[in-house]
């Protein structure tokens, strides 16, 4: 909110929860996309915090950006590599989680902002 008041919170370790949430975006349908970095997934919630679905096996997900025509961009790297390793910027279908394309990103190039 503009006045800085907390509206809602939820989450702890486990299914439908988080292990280092790292980026949040809200789409035009009020669906929250949360980069659950250390669990290697993107989770989807409604504005009340109800778990809707997840995009599993994404790798360490640092950043999210909504694209045109139902796409979601994410900065990711393998979970089994140290932070700062090479990774990808992936283009995802928001509904299915299907990878539509990707661009390799060099080591230390910055996956924190897509």
Phi and psi angles of residue 37, each rounded to the nearest 5 degrees, phi first: -55, -55
In a domain, 4, yes or no: no
User: 56: domain range?
Assistant: 21-105
88-112: average pLDDT: 85
- Give me the number of domains the chain comprises: 1
* Sequence-distant (≥ 6) Cβ neighbours of residue 110 within 8 angstroms: 75
In a domain, 2, yes or no: no
CATH number at residue 47: 2.40.10.480
18-43: average pLDDT: 88
* Average pLDDT across the chain, whole number: 84
Cα 6 from Cα 15, distance rounded (Å): 24
In a domain, 94, yes or no: yes
Other beta carbons within 10 angstroms of residue 60's beta carbon come to 24
The alpha carbons of the chain give a radius of gyration, in whole angstroms, of 14
What is the reported pLDDT for 104?
A: 93
Cα 40 from Cα 82, distance rounded (Å): 13
What is the reported pLDDT for 113?
A: 58
Report the greatest alpha carbon distance in the chain. 40
Cα 43 to chain centroid, rounded: 7
Cα 72 to chain centroid, rounded: 9
pTM of the model: 0.82
């Amino acid at each position: 909110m503009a006045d800085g008041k907390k509206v809602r919170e939820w989450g702890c370790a486990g299914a439908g929860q988080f292990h280092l949430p790292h980026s949040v975006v809200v789409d035009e349908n009020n669906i929250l996309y949360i980069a659950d970095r250390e669990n290697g997934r993107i989770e989807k919630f409604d504005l009340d915090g109800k778990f809707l679905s997840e995009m599993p096996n994404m790798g360490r997900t640092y950043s999210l950006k909504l694209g045109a025509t139902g796409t979601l961009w994410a900065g990711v790297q393998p979970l089994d590599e140290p932070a700062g390793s090479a990774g990808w910027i992936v283009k995802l279908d928001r509904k299915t989680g299907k990878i539509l394309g990707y661009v390799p990103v060099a080591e230390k190039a910055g996956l924190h902002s897509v």
